[in-house]
């Protein structure tokens, strides 16, 4: 059976490369999580907040039209 190699078993140069690679992967994971949070915020804005805002504005517009039509009939 083949024995797994550990970082401490590697020559110093290769161990350094593994540490560099690990820090690169951690930075990429951090960037990915920030990107995911940004996408979630955009999704919530587009699917919940903006439609509710437009419905509210549309309701205000309709109320203004109804009020204006009643005001000019009298």
Q: Is residue 39 part of a domain?
A: yes
Domain residues for the domain of 14 are 9-73
Q: Establish if 58 belongs to a structural domain.
A: yes
Q: How many domains does one find in the chain?
A: 1
Report pLDDT digits (tens) over 14-53.
656 778 888 889 999 999 999 999 999 999 999 999 999 9
Is position 4 within any domain? Answer: no
Report the pLDDT averaged over residues 59-72. 85
List CB contacts of 7: < 8 A, sequence separation 6 or more: 15, 18, 19
Would you say the pTM of this structure is higher than 0.85?
A: no
Contact in structure between 7 and 15 (CB atoms under 8 Å): yes
Whether 34 is in a domain gets the answer yes
């Amino acid at each position: 059976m083949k024995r797994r190699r550990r970082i401490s078993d590697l020559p110093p140069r290769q161990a350094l490369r593994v540490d560099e690679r690990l820090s690169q992967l951690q930075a990429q994971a951090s960037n990915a999580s920030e990107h995911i949070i940004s996408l979630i915020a955009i999704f919530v804005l587009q699917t919940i907040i903006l439609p509710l805002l437009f419905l509210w504005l549309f309701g205000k517009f309709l109320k203004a039209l109804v009020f204006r039509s009643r005001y000019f009939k009298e």
